[in-house]
C-alpha cells in the first residue's frame, strides 16, 4: 500500500467512484452525488434503502458492485455519507472490495466527544488498508480535471492556486470567493479530523505538482508538527508561496478549534515562529488570504521586483506610493529613457481611457527593467467606454506576458471588498484573471508580503538551508 503522500494523487484523480449513502434527500448525500454525477468518472451509488438515486441504479452494498479487470478493486474511491456509527463497517466493506481510498464526510467522531473518539479510533484502525480523508470533512474538488467530490456553491474556475482547509464550510465557500477576485483554483481539499490524510500530506503533494503555483491553507491544528515543518520546507524549496490562516491562536480560538475538527491548536507563538523560519505567509483574515493568493498566482512567473505604478489620479498615486513605501516596496524611479522619474506616475485621465490605455501601457510592459504594472483608476467603472478600457488592459497583459494588477476606486468600492462586481468593465478584468481591488491598501499589502517572501527565499537558499546545510534560520 502506498504511503499517504504518494496516495494523494490517486485520491484526487479517481476513475471509478462509489458513493455509499447516496440519496436524493439530505444536503451532503444529494449534493455531493449530483456533483459526482457531472464529473468525468464512472459513478456507482450504494444505499440499501433505495433502488435508484437521480436516475442511477442503486446497489444495496459495495460487494454487489461489478468487478474490474486484473487486481484492481471495485472502485478507486469511496465517498461515505452514512451515519457515524455505520462508518467503521462501511470502511471494512471497502477494504474487502479492494477500495484503497475513502472520503468520510460523516460527522460525529472525535469532535463530538468520548463516544466519537471511540468511533474514530475504529476508523483509524483501517489505516493499513484504506487511506481516509476525514472524517467530518467536506470532500475535495480537482477543478483542473472537473472531478467534484464536494458541494459547490458556484461554478468553479480553474487556475494555479491549491487550497487545503480543515474547515469544510470555508473550503466550500472560498472557492467562489477566489473566483470573484479573478483567481482560479487547481485543487480544494477539506481534511476534517485528519484521521488518515493530513493537511501536511497535501502540502507535500502541492509542492511537487506542476500545476500548483500558489498554496493557500486554513489551519486549526496539526497532528504532527514535524511533518508540517518538512512540508513547509518542501514548498519553500519548490518556490511556491504558502499563504495561511491559523485559527486557535487565542485561548477562545483554541477551545473552539478543539470542538470543531478535533484538532489540537497548539501554541500560537510556536506556530508563528515556524512560519517565520520556513517562509509561510501568515495572514489574519480571509480577505487577506484571498488577496495575497490571487496576487501571488498572477505574478507567479515574474520576479516582480520592479513595478511600474501608473495612475489616472495624482492623489491616488501619491497615496499608493506612501502605502507601498510602508509595505517595504517603495517604487523605484523609472529608467531615464522614459523621460520621467516619479513612480507612481500620473499620466492623466485621457491616457487611461478606452483603446488609448493599451498604448499607454505598451512601453512600460515592453521594458526589460519593469517586471509588472499596477494600474490605479479613480472613476466610475460603469460608463460604456470603460468596457473598452478593460479589454485593452487585458490585451496589453496578454501581449506582454507580464502581470497587471488593477486598483479601481469608484462606486464599486464596497462591493469589491466583498467580491461582488456589478460593473461589466470590472467583470471583464475579473474573468481575465487580473487581480482587482477597490482600494490600494489590500493590493499593496499583498505585493509587500510577496516581495518579502521572495527576499526571504533568496536568503534561505543562499544560506544553504535548501540543500540541508545551514540552520534555515533566515526569518520572513
pLDDT tens by residue, 397-447:
999 999 999 999 987 544 554 455 568 999 999 989 999 999 999 999 999
* pLDDT tens profile 303-354: 888 999 999 999 999 999 999 999 999 999 998 888 888 999 999 999 999 9
From the list 80, 74, 77, 21, the residue with the least C-alpha distance to 47 is: 21
Residue 266 clears pLDDT 70, i.e. is over it: no
Q: In what order do the strands lie in the sheet with 42-46?
A: 52-53, 56-59, 42-46, 16-20, 77-80, 101-104, 131-133
H or E element at residue 372: strand 372-378
Q: The domain 138-298 belongs to what CATH superfamily?
A: Succinyl-CoA synthetase domains (3.40.50.261)
This prediction has a pTM of 0.91
pLDDT of the residue at 417: 47
Answer with the residue of higher pLDDT: 157 or 252: 157
Residue 234 clears pLDDT 60, i.e. is over it: yes
Residue 390 clears pLDDT 60, i.e. is over it: yes
Residue 131 clears pLDDT 50, i.e. is over it: yes
Residue 461 clears pLDDT 90, i.e. is over it: yes
From the list 416, 194, 112, the residue with the least C-alpha distance to 294 is: 416
Instruction: Tell me the mean pLDDT in the region 79-101.
Output: 97
Residue 441 C-alpha cell reads as: 491598501
Which of 3.40.50.261, 3.40.50.200, 3.60.20.10, 3.90.1580.10 is the CATH number of 303-454?
3.40.50.261
Instruction: Report the C-alpha gap between 292 and 127 in whole angstroms.
Output: 36
Answer with the residue of higher pLDDT: 357 or 431: 357
Instruction: Tell me the mean pLDDT in the region 111-117.
Output: 93
* pLDDT tens profile 273-308: 889 999 999 999 999 999 999 999 999 888 888 999
Fold topology of 1-136: Rossmann fold (3.40.50)
From the list 476, 462, 458, the residue with the least C-alpha distance to 305 is: 458
Name the pairing type of β-strands 77-80 and 101-104. Answer: parallel
pLDDT of the residue at 471: 47
Instruction: Tell me the mean pLDDT in the region 219-237.
Output: 90
Confidence bin at 208 (pLDDT 50/70/90)? very high
Confidence bin at 163 (pLDDT 50/70/90)? very high
Among 30-39, 73-82, 330-339, 356-365, the least confident range: 330-339
In the DSSP assignment, the letter for residue 466 is G
Q: How many Å from the N-terminal Cα to the C-terminal Cα in the chain?
A: 38
Confidence bin at 466 (pLDDT 50/70/90)? low
pLDDT of the residue at 230: 94
Confidence bin at 253 (pLDDT 50/70/90)? very low
pLDDT of the residue at 24: 95
Confidence bin at 464 (pLDDT 50/70/90)? confident
Classified as helix, coil or strand, 187 is strand
Q: Which residues of 428-454 are buried (b: 16+ CB within 10 A; e: fewer)?
A: bbbebbbbbbbbbbbbbbbbbbbbbbb
Residue 457 C-alpha cell reads as: 527565499
CATH topology of 1-136 equal to that of 138-298? Answer: yes
**Domain locations in the chain as residue ranges:** 1-136, 138-298, 303-454
Confidence bin at 152 (pLDDT 50/70/90)? confident
pLDDT of the residue at 154: 77
Average pLDDT score, the chain: 90
Amino acid at each position: 500500500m502506498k504511503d499517504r503522500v504518494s496516495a494523494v494523487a490517486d485520491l484526487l484523480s479517481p476513475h471509478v467512484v462509489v458513493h455509499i449513502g447516496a440519496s436524493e434527500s439530505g444536503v451532503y448525500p444529494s449534493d455531493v452525488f449530483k456533483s459526482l454525477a457531472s464529473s468525468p468518472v464512472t459513478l456507482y451509488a450504494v444505499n440499501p434503502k433505495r433502488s435508484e438515486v437521480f436516475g442511477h441504479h442503486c446497489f444495496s452494498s459495495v460487494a454487489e458492485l461489478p468487478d474490474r479487470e486484473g487486481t484492481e478493486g471495485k472502485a478507486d474511491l469511496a465517498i461515505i455519507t452514512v451515519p457515524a456509527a455505520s462508518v467503521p463497517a462501511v470502511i471494512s466493506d471497502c477494504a474487502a472490495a479492494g477500495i484503497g481510498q475513502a472520503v468520510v464526510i460523516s460527522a460525529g467522531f472525535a469532535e463530538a466527544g468520548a463516544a466519537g473518539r471511540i468511533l474514530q479510533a475504529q476508523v483509524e484502525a483501517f489505516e493499513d488498508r484504506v487511506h481516509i480523508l476525514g472524517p467530518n470533512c467536506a470532500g475535495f474538488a480537482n477543478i483542473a480535471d472537473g472531478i467534484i467530490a464536494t458541494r459547490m456553491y458556484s461554478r468553479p474556475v480553474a487556475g494555479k492556486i491549491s487550497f487545503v482547509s480543515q474547515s469544510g464550510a470555508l473550503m466550500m465557500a472560498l472557492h467562489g470567493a477566489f473566483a470573484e477576485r479573478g483567481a482560479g483554483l487547481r485543487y480544494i481539499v477539506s481534511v476534517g479530523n485528519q484521521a488518515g490524510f493530513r493537511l501536511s500530506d497535501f502540502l507535500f503533494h502541492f509542492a511537487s505538482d506542476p500545476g500548483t503555483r500558489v498554496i493557500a491553507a486554513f489551519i486549526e491544528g496539526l497532528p504532527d508538527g514535524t511533518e508540517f515543518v518538512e512540508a513547509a520546507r518542501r514548498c519553500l524549496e519548490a518556490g511556491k508561496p504558502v499563504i495561511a490562516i491559523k485559527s486557535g491562536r487565542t485561548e477562545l480560538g483554541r477551545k473552539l478549534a478543539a470542538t470543531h475538527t478535533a484538532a489540537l491548536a497548539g501554541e500560537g507563538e510556536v506556530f508563528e515562529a515556524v512560519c517565520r523560519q520556513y517562509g509561510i505567509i501568515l495572514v489574519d483574515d480571509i480577505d487577506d488570504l484571498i488577496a495575497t493568493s490571487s496576487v501571488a498566482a498572477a505574478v507567479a512567473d515574474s520576479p516582480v521586483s520592479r513595478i511600474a505604478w501608473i495612475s489616472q489620479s495624482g492623489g491616488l498615486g501619491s497615496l499608493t506610493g506612501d502605502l507601498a513605501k510602508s509595505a517595504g516596496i517603495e517604487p523605484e524611479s523609472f529608467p531615464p529613457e522614459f523621460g520621467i522619474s516619479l513612480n507612481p506616475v500620473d499620466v492623466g485621465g485621457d491616457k487611461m481611457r478606452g483603446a488609448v490605455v493599451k498604448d499607454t501601457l505598451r512601453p512600460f510592459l515592453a521594458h526589460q527593467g519593469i517586471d509588472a504594472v499596477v494600474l490605479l483608476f479613480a472613476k466610475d467603472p460603469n460608463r460604456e467606454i470603460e468596457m473598452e478600457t478593460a479589454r485593452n488592459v487585458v490585451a496589453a497583459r496578454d501581449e506582454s506576458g507580464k502581470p497587471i494588477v488593477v486598483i479601481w476606486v469608484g462606486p464599486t468600492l464596497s462591493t469589491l471588498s466583498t467580491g461582488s462586481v456589478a460593473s461589466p468593465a470590472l467583470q471583464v478584468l475579473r474573468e481575465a484573471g487580473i487581480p482587482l481591488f477597490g482600494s490600494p491598501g489590500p493590493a499593496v499589502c499583498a505585493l509587500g508580503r510577496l516581495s518579502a517572501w521572495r527576499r526571504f527565499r533568496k536568503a534561505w537558499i543562499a544560506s544553504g538551508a535548501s540543500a540541508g546545510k545551514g540552520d534555515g534560520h533566515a526569518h520572513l
